[in-house]
Structure 1
Amino acid sequence: MTRQNDFIHQRKQDHIQTILDDPQIERHQSGFDQIQLTHCALPECDFDAINTQTEFLGKTLSFPLLISSMTGGKSANLMKINQALAEAAEAMQVALAVGSQRVMIEDVSAEESFKLRRYAPTTPLIANMGAVQLNYGFSRDDAQRMVETLQADALYLHLNPLQEVIQPEGDKNFAGLLDKIRELAVDFPVPIILKEVGCGLSATDIEKGLQSSIKWFDLAGRGGTSWSRIEAHRNGDPKAQDLGVLFQDWGLTTPQALIQARPYQDRAHFIASGGIRNGIDMVKSVIMGAQICGIAAPFLEPAMDSTEATVAKIQQFANEFRTAQFLLGASDLSQLLLNDNLILNRQ
């Protein structure tokens, strides 16, 4: 194994440990608490008959939850996490996206942790590659190998310029990337989803993506897990550490990104992620235009424990979501999407 591969494997372990060790990684600044919904005292529907189902990538989800990208690699703990997430996603019929698969391209022994279709035969799975890797020798063949290994229904191309700048071994050349994304998107075998990693996608970003034939966007706003702060922990340079802390709250919140995305609802599909921490946040996201809600950090510790603990956490979100939908008088999920009448105010 090369020294570079050692770095990548250790980085994934560092990320998990830092999230567990530093409570300030969770920023609690998502902006969802500032959005108030209109309570319906006469919901005129049966709680037990509430329909929370939705379609995603041609498959039916029990409610609009995507377990967002976390990790993957050859280490036993990383394999355990991904297996528990996949088994729980299948059991609860929600979607799952894996962490960056760069590691399996550079070290074939890491591929095993991404062979998740055996644990999740029917639910949507999303492969994951850093878009910037297209500037560092990664090719269409590499992207297709990621999809084939996971037997994925879509591919995340994640955009993380802030994280790469703070990361001690970061890849900082984002020049000319749009053309390479456009080339990759042509006739790619599964949909490509353009995803930020905690700083939000702006209207300009969405415009650029649409020009590159991208139809799916994961807005991934700030206010939840701060990857800038995580990388500050990992960087041995005090100046870089200070920079990572300075930028720990940089970017658009998810509600702000959803507002920016509103004019493009007839041309694109949107996933809301970043700081979503309960079923009420999910409902607010759907009302503001998200078809699916991505959540990562709350599932890390349950997945480190067991499949059963992960299922229990998903069930908690499902019950919260159903309760909020009921209290808005929406018997069907379709009654929530882009329904501004349900928002009392945005303080």
Structure 2
Amino acid sequence: MSTSQRKIEHLKFCANRPVESKKATSGFDDVILVHRALPEMSIDDIDLSTDFLGKRLNAPFMIASITGGHPDTIAINSALAEAVEETGIGIGVGSQRAAIEDPEQEYSFSVVREKAPNAFVYGNIGAAQIKEYGIQGIEKMVEMIDADAFAIHLNFLQEAIQPEGDIDASGVLDAISEICSLNIPIIVKETGSGISHEDALLLKKAGVSSIDVGGVGGTSWAGVEVYRADDRKETSAKNMGELFWDFGIPTASSIVECNVSLPVIATGGIRTGLDVAKSISLGASVASSALPFVEPAFNGPEEVTRKLTSIIDELKVAMFLAGCRDIEQLKRSPMVITGWTEQYLKQRGFDLSDFALRANIV
């Protein structure tokens, strides 16, 4: 099967089937922002803007990598990009592998920069492909969308379930280190299983500019592959996907795991502005989400803008109730971590009192 055909299958399954985590959650229900009953400000005084990898965003949020690589995805990426340009946030494109294999698919990606000339836009390719394409291939993908940054995604769980998957993960860290020599910020992102503290330290040593945790709690790509396998009567792949549907580190915990003095993107089950606020208070620089924008994108840019505006408004209310005038104060806002997330992080050796006792008062 061609990469292009696989991409459109993925998009359709995400739009029409339940693909989110089943039993596992993102962990944000275990995170409680400390309420400030006396915020002593107007909600209109709150400044949501932030700098991320050299670009100013109107709010600390991005539409995570969704699609591209098939003619039917052009309208989707166009709608997403128009909404991002309107709201002044960021966006990532789906894996550009299809456009490298078939140059006719390039416009399904470059349309994003065409429709969002001022937005923060990042490119994307899988870690399994960077050894094949090398620096020249990455440079071509960067040029394709005039990217502000480039993401290398880690999806070895998905690759292990796909019958056509690339399961050779040897040499990936060295390849990432080589890509980091390019004059563009390099993001390394997981796609639904999270990143541990150990791997975050390795990525920092390799020279990456930012880590996207891509934790458990949102779209399960093992789950997506279950539907593909079921359609093709591939019982072994289906059973494997069912077993590993929720495998990995939930997003809230992975944010803490990735606190290695690099900008962190919180992705995985981000569904509300309150989730965004909790992510940033946990240590993320920005948050991102993909699945909530798939269905709106089928209906046009207005629907995507409406969804984005709702999340941004929710973030502002969360900051108001936490007494935070800007994103820097939100990063210092006290919080309490409870439940399964507390147990996990304590067993991993993290001191959670640092979160509960800090103060955002200046």
Question: What is the TM-score when the length of structure 2 is the normalising length?
Answer: 0.89
Partner of 1:192: 186
Question: Runs of 4+ in structure 1 displaced over 6 angstroms?
Answer: none
Aligned pairs for 1:64-83 within 5 A: 64-75=60-71, 77-83=72-78
Partner of 1:30: 26
Superposed displacement of residue 12, structure 1 = 1.1
Aligned-partner residue type, residue 174 of structure 2: D
Partner of 2:275: 281
Query: Could you say what the CA RMSD is over the residues aligned between the two structures, in angstroms?
Result: 1.3
Superposed displacement of residue 25, structure 1 = 3.3
Are 1:122 and 2:122 matched, yes or no? Answer: no
3-state secondary structure, aligned to 2:170: coil
Aligned pairs for 1:160-239 within 5 A: 160-186=155-181, 188-235=182-229, 236=232, 237-239=234-236
Taking the aligned partners of 2:183 and 2:25, their CA distance within structure 1 comes to 37
Partner of 1:12: 7
Partner of 2:311: 317
Partner of 1:131: 127
- Is the deviation greater in 199-208 or in 100-109? 199-208
CA-to-aligned-CA distance 1:89-137 (integer Å, 9 cap, x gap): 01000000000000000000000111122211111000001111023x2
User: Does the CA-based 8 Å contact 1:209-1:215 persist in structure 2?
Assistant: no
Taking the aligned partners of 1:26 and 1:84, their CA distance within structure 2 comes to 26
2:81 to 86, 96, 106: 86
Taking the aligned partners of 1:286 and 1:241, their CA distance within structure 2 comes to 36
Aligned pairs for 1:101-120 within 5 A: 101-115=96-110, 116-120=112-116
User: Does the CA-based 8 Å contact 2:213-2:264 persist in structure 1?
Assistant: yes
Partner of 1:346: 338
3-state secondary structure, aligned to 1:189: coil
CA-to-aligned-CA distance 1:16-66 (integer Å, 9 cap, x gap): 221233225354711111212211111111111211111112222111011
User: Does the CA-based 8 Å contact 1:45-1:330 persist in structure 2?
Assistant: no
Superposed displacement of residue 345, structure 1 = 3.7
Taking the aligned partners of 1:312 and 1:176, their CA distance within structure 2 comes to 43
3-state secondary structure, aligned to 1:132: helix
Go from structure 1 to structure 2 and tell me whether the alpha carbon gap of 1:200 and 1:345 turns closer, same or farther (over 3 Å shift). Answer: closer
Are 1:95 and 2:90 matched, yes or no? Answer: yes
3-state secondary structure, aligned to 2:277: helix
User: Does the CA-based 8 Å contact 1:286-1:338 persist in structure 2?
Assistant: no
Gaps of 5+ in 1: none
User: Does the CA-based 8 Å contact 1:166-1:243 persist in structure 2?
Assistant: yes
Aligned-partner residue type, residue 312 of structure 1: R
User: Does the CA-based 8 Å contact 2:33-2:336 persist in structure 1?
Assistant: yes
Are 1:43 and 2:39 matched, yes or no? Answer: yes
Taking the aligned partners of 2:130 and 2:52, their CA distance within structure 1 comes to 27
2:258 to 245, 257, 261: 261
Superposed displacement of residue 168, structure 1 = 2.1
Taking the aligned partners of 1:168 and 1:285, their CA distance within structure 2 comes to 35
Partner of 1:291: 285
3-state secondary structure, aligned to 1:193: strand
Taking the aligned partners of 1:312 and 1:239, their CA distance within structure 2 comes to 41
Question: What is the TM-score when the length of structure 1 is the normalising length?
Answer: 0.93
Taking the aligned partners of 1:259 and 1:112, their CA distance within structure 2 comes to 38
User: Taking every aligned residue pair, what percent have the same amino acid on both sides?
Assistant: 39
Aligned-partner residue type, residue 169 of structure 2: F
Superposed displacement of residue 338, structure 1 = 4.2
Gaps of 5+ in 2: 340-362
3-state secondary structure, aligned to 1:282: helix
- Is the deviation greater in 35-44 or in 314-323? 35-44
Are 1:252 and 2:256 matched, yes or no? Answer: no
- Is the deviation greater in 284-293 or in 171-180? 171-180
Taking the aligned partners of 2:207 and 2:53, their CA distance within structure 1 comes to 17
CA-to-aligned-CA distance 1:181-235 (integer Å, 9 cap, x gap): 111212x021110110010011111111112111310011011110001012112
